[in-house]
Structure formats: structure tokens, C-alpha cells
Structure 1
Amino acid sequence: MSFKHFYRVRAWIALTCFSFSHFAAAQAATQAVPLSAEHARALGVRTSTVSATETLDVGTHARVVFRPDAQYVVAAPYPGIVPRVLVAIGQTVRPGQPLASYLSPQLFDARRALAEANSQARLAQQALVRDQSLYEDGIIAASRWQATQARATEAAAMARARRAEMASAGVVFAGAGDEGQLVASHHGIVSEVSAVPGARVEGASPLFRIVDPDALELDLLLGRDIPVPSPGERVEVARRGAAGTVVGVAPAGDGTAGMRVRASLERRGDLRAGESVNVTLKLRSREGKDAPGRVRVPAAAVAYWQGAPGVFVATDKGFRFQAVTLESTDEANAVVRGNLPAGTRVAVSGIGALKGLLAGDQ
């Protein structure tokens, strides 16, 4: 026998065994265990009724954090000196409000460059208007008219670049002495002041931190004992008057099986950043019309048959093993997905006896 033929035979055997095992699992998942009520009681089989609801409430913990856009830093645009600090920690500021005065040779050099660029742009625009009239009257050549257009475009671009540089510096010139002042660009509360009057600072050194106390989110780290919510599902902190919606789910990234969940708050109640609170996940029982439902059953009802989780559902003639998807479990309850309508009775004791009868029926 050639090696090629040998490997083909071995692959066929493996595929046959794989198909047989899946067929057996499917048979076990649908085959009923005939059992009378008297025999079930003798084996110690007891059942519990499944109660289905629109939402499934699951309690867990969350940390209150700032949204990524809730805080920003005002930094020194150039190396310089802070002569005066105009705000204090805890003070509410509005956009455009001065935070500190600022002196820097580079700042005044940038201002001079802006004035020069604006002047050049105005002159180029005047030349453009003049040469356009001369070109239309046939006094100048087309090449001169095109050169004037190019100079006007370059001058306007340079002026825009200089204005953008000054805007990014976050400095305005005001007061009798026309002094430079660092200003706030957002509404918020001053949470940190690093500027010291009279001290020299390097460029890009953080001087103020401003936060929006209303821009809060909930950060949840869920283990295997908590079902993972989907974006759009609700989160409530009932005792604190807060509620929100799940906006993102991602692996924790710390080497564990945990999932990190972010929820935006529509009502922040009296929550404060940094505290830990008890929250309730409002999980949808069914994602779609034909999707398997999500229900809570006693943890003792979950059984494993040929490696697949499931429950023994009571029927008129006995019990049948029904495979389910196990989402979470703790000592008392398990959350599963499967075709388990309200009123379905599942076995919660005598599971070993039922598995034995199922194995004997195979």
C-alpha cells in the first residue's frame, strides 16, 4: 500500500468517527428517556419550572470613570514664564476664560509671523483684484495673471497656517498691556494646577487639567459567572438614580477570561468618578424572533452529556435531554440559551439516574 493511499484511508476513518460521534450527540440531545411519574419519584427526580421574562436582571459591580473626552490638559505652547495664575482648583471655567498670563519670546515671534502673513495675504489679494481687471482689459499677459493667482493662493495658505498655529497655542492677547493669556477651550472644573507664578516652564509642560464632572461612564469587568451583555442593553444603578446603555464589549486583555464592558450614562444621578457601585444588567431574554431565549435555571439542572451542556426537560412520557448554551453559572443559578418556553419543567435532582437511563438507551 502506498503512503498516499494509506493517508487517504486514515483520513476517511477519522472523518467517519467524527461524523458518528456528532450523530450520537445529536441523537442523545433529542432522544427521550421513557419514565413514569412513580419511577421518577423512586429515582429521586424532582423538577423546577422555568419562568421566562422580557428581561433578565443580573447584578454585578462597576467602577465610575470619566469618558475619554471628559478631561483635557492645557499645556505651555512654548518655553516661557507664567507671571500670574488666574484660576484655582475646583473653580468652574467656561470656554475662552483666561487661566494664566504667559510670556515667551517664541509666542511673540509667532504673533509677529501671523501679522506678517496676514499683511502679505491682503497685498496678494489686492494684486489679484488689480491684475484680474488688467487681464480682462487685455493689458497684461495670461502668464502674469496666473503668477498673481499663484502668489495669492500661497499667501492665503501661509496666513491660514499661522492662524492655526496661534489657535493651537490656546493663547489670546488682551488687557491694557496686550499680554498673552492661556485660555480654556472647554467648559469644566479645574482639577489640577501645575503652574507656579514666576516659574519657567518648558514647551508642552502640562499646566492645568480641566474635567467635566457630568461626563461619566460605567466600567464593568465581568467574569465567567456573569452573562456578557450586548451593545444596546440597559444598565441601572437604582439606588443612585443612574441608568445607561452598554456601548462596548471587549476582552479584558489581562490574560484572564474576563470581559470589559463600557456603559454610557443617560442619567448620572449622584454618581462620582472613582467610586465602585452595585449595578443591574437588564439583559434581553431573546435577541430575535427565532433566536433561542435566555433564561435562568437552577445550577443543579445543568447536566453534561458527551461534553455538551444541557437540561433534562420533562415530557408527558418522561424526560428528554436538550442541549443549551451555558452563558454563566454560580452556586445557585445558571443562565442558559435554548428553546425553553415559560412553564417548561426541568429536572433539578436525580440527574445521575437520568443520565444512566439515557446511556442505557444508547
Structure 2
Amino acid sequence: MYKSSLLLGIVFLSTIQTASAAIDDIAINAKQIASLGIAISPLPAKQSGEVSGLPGQVIVPGNQLYVVSTPLPALIEQILVGVGDSVKRGQAIALLQSPALAEVQRGLLQSAAQKQLSRDNLARDQSLYKDGIISESRLRNSQALALEAQAAFSERRQMLRISGMSDSAITQLQSSSNLSSQLTVSSPIDGVVLEKTAGAGQRLDAAVPIFKIARVDSLSLEIQAPLAMVRDLKVGAPITIPAYNASGKLTAIGHSLTGTNQTVLLRGVILQGMKNLRPGQFVETSVGTSNGSGAQWEVSNGAIARLDGRAVVFVRTPQGFHAVTVKILNEGAQNSVISGTLKGVEQIATHGVSALKSSMMGIGDK
């Protein structure tokens, strides 16, 4: 009795398994495939340990970006460079007219005269003190006044340097005493002009940005990655930008989600192919994962169907198609990365998948 029950159970399970396999099979001939508009393509080349199709943007590293602003309230007289121009350090990039500059120059000349007067008074008092004519307190007072005059002169000189005047121009000002309201703005680095935010004829307050200049000898990437993908990523993982033949490595993985699309921000540095990219450019990237044991394939979203809470692709068989359950590792706008019990040599349906799905669900059967 026990053996009969056991045998009956085995037969029952075998019947269920056979029926389950049969459910995933669709019998359809070549003529029907053509009439339903079903297109068949080879499974794409296998990928191992890579998340592809991630949106990214090329950026300039923060330590290579400089903002050039107006040092004093001024009127822009002339802009000498444009966006995209290469500039050298110290090159004139704009001419300004600033009455405030003339005031600072006048202050320098006054402080220079006061410094010289205090030095002369100190020399005289040192001589008088040596002869015993004046007291030590008067000598110390002269010394303090000389130090104060020197500090005021250094402050005025530094203000002119901040305003954009070179040391040679300041020396010439001291010798000629000719005041000028024209101010030359120079590039702080060898780089490229990325942005121009003001034009000739504009009147600007102090510290208003005019240019953004950057060194572009190295570039970085900001990548948006789904939270589910982050667990398989590590700093140092390889990054590729296939469309532009560029590559680099992952340098940082964000710890918070963006408020809009709930993705994690990844940062990377581009090591090869920088000449093919431009700051601000949007690109599609691939990032290597630490879990590279499983094979992955990138297929079009049209090749994936969802049935009873599972994702499947339809593999061509001699009798028709067989639905193979797959796991979606990364779902993109056009393509998705999947894994599953596939060998990589299969032919899969890429168009007309809805007709195969309907056939499996019994829709349209008579």
C-alpha cells in the first residue's frame, strides 16, 4: 500500500513538471511567425560582471575649475575672449573701467608718502636719542608710527594686487603717480573658457562672476545608478563609454538617494579617450561589478515579457518558442541587462513578443 502511494506521488509530480514545461512552450510554425510580425535575433554577446546603459555626464573636477570675477565695482569696456577659447595664465581676457581703482591707487600713493615721512622721522629721532636730546619714549613712538605706516602701505599694495594690477604696474604707479581707472582682468590658469556670464557695456558690482575657466587635461564623470546595482559596485571598478571609445575608473559611490529619480550618484575619472568628450556632455556608461561570476546579456526591452510576476524571453525552438525566466539586473530606457539559464547561442524573439505572450495566456484561442 505504501509503495503504491509513493509510486502514485512520483507519477503525479512528474505529470506536474511536464505540464509546467509544456505551459512555457508555444507551438507555432514559420508561416504563423511571419504573419504575426515576430522578429528573431541572436542573443547578444555575453557580458560578465558589468552594468551597462547607465546615464552619466562629463564634468570638470572641482579643483580644475576657476571663476573669474570683478575685483571692484566696474564697467566692462571690452571682452577679449569667448567661450571655447584657450587661454594662458596671465593673458588679458577683459578690460574694465573702475573709478574705485583710481581711489585705491590714490590711497597707495598717500600711504607711500606717509611711509617715507615716518621713516625720515624715525631716522631723525634715532640720531637725537643717540645724542641724548630726546627721551626713549619718543623714540618708541616714532618706531610705532613707522611700523603702522609700513603696514598701511602693504595693505594698499595688496589691494591693488587683488584688483588685478601686477607688481610692475604698481611700481610704475609709484614712480609716475599717474592714476588710471582702467583695469585688466587676466586668466589665472592655462585652460579653456567654459562660460561667459557678462558682456561689454555691463556695469557690475564687486565679486560678480564674468568667466568660468577650467583645465581640461583631465575630466570626471557623474553617473546615476539604480540602488539595486550599487551593492555589486566597488571603488576602483572599470568604467567604459563605448560610444566614444573612452574609459576610466570609479572613484566614489554616493551614500544617499537623489530626490527625483531615487538613484545613487557615482563619481569616476576618465583616463583614456578624453579628446572625444566635452564638459557637460551626457553619455551612456558601463561599470564593472564585483560579482562577475554570472553571465549577463543586454537585450532590447521589447524582447522581455512579464508573466505571472516573472520576466521571460522567448527562445526559438524547432516547434516554436520556449519562455525562459530571466532576472532583470538593470532596466534602461531602451535596453535592459538580464541574466538567466541561457547559453548565449539562443535565438530570441525581439519583436511581436506581445503575440507570444497572448498565446501563452490563452488569449485568442478558440
TM-score (norm 2): 0.53
User: When the two structures are aligned, how many residues end up with a matched partner?
Assistant: 249
CA distance in 2, matches of 1:245, 1:125: 61
Query: Is 1:93 the counterpart of 2:97 in the alignment?
Result: no
Higher-Rg structure is 2
Picking from 51, 61, 65, the partner of 1:58 is: 51
Structure-2 separation of matches of 1:89 and 1:257: 34
> How far does residue 333 in structure 1 lie from its aligned partner after superposition?
4.1
Q: 1:83 aligns with which of 51, 57, 77?
A: 77
162, 180, 184: which one pairs with 1:181? 184
- Distance of aligned partners of 1:332 and 1:85 in 2 relative to their CA distance in 1, 3 Å threshold: closer
Unaligned runs of 5+ in 1: 1-37, 45-54, 286-293, 300-327, 335-362
- Per the alignment, do residues 79 and 56 of structure 1 end up closer, same or farther by CA in structure 2, a change over 3 Å counting? same
CA displacement at 1:106 relative to structure 2: 0.9
SS at 1:108 equivalent: helix
8 Å Cα contact 2:49-2:295 kept in structure 1:
no
CA-CA distance at 1:260 after TM superposition: 0.9
Corresponding residue for residue 39 of structure 2: none
What is the distance in 2 between the residues matched to 1:203 and 1:231? 42
Output the CA distance in 1 between the equivalents of 2:236 and 2:199.
46
Among 235, 240, 251, which residue is 2:239 paired with?
235
Tell me if structure 1 keeps the 8 A contact 2:50–2:288.
Answer: yes
Name the SS for the 2:158 alignment partner.
helix
Q: 1:281 aligns with which of 273, 284, 287?
A: 287
* Cα distance in 2, alignment partners of residues 198 and 211 from structure 1: 25
SS in 1 for 2:227: coil
1:207, 1:278 → 2: CA distance? Answer: 32
Q: Distance in 1 between matches of 2:90 and 2:75?
A: 20
Q: What is the rounded CA distance, in whole Å, between the counterparts of 1:95 and 1:234 in structure 2?
A: 34
- Is contact 2:50-2:292 (8 Å) kept? no
Aligned-residue identity in percent: 25
2:145 is the counterpart of 1:151: yes
Cα 1:279–1:199 change in 2 (3 A) is closer
Unaligned 5+ runs, structure 2: 1-9, 18-47, 173-177, 297-327, 331-336, 341-366
1:259 corresponds to which letter in structure 2?
V
**Counterpart residue type for residue 166 of structure 1:** L
| Displacement of 1:135 | 6.6
The AA in structure 2 aligned to 1:221 is Q
- Does residue 117 (structure 1) correspond to residue 111 (structure 2)? The answer is yes
Q: In 1, Cα distance between the equivalents of 2:238 and 2:119?
A: 58
90, 99, 105: which one pairs with 1:105?
99
Q: TM-score, normalised by structure 1?
A: 0.54
CA–CA distance in structure 2, aligned partners of residues 160 and 252 of structure 1: 50
Matches within 5 A, 1:1-362: 56-59=49-52, 60-124=54-118, 141-171=135-165, 179-228=182-231, 229-237=233-241, 239-247=244-252, 249-254=254-259, 257-267=262-272, 268-283=274-289, 285=290, 294=291, 296-297=293-294, 329=329, 332-333=338-339
Separation (CA, whole Å) in 1 of partners of 2:124 and 2:248: 64
Is the contact made by 1:188 and 1:211 (CA closer than 8 Å) also made in structure 2? yes
After superposition, the Cα gap between the structure-2 partners of 1:57 and 1:156, relative to the gap in structure 1 and judged at 3 Å, is farther
- 1:297–1:82: structure 2 CA closer, same or farther, 3 Å change rule? closer
Contact 1:73 1:207 in 2 (8 A): yes
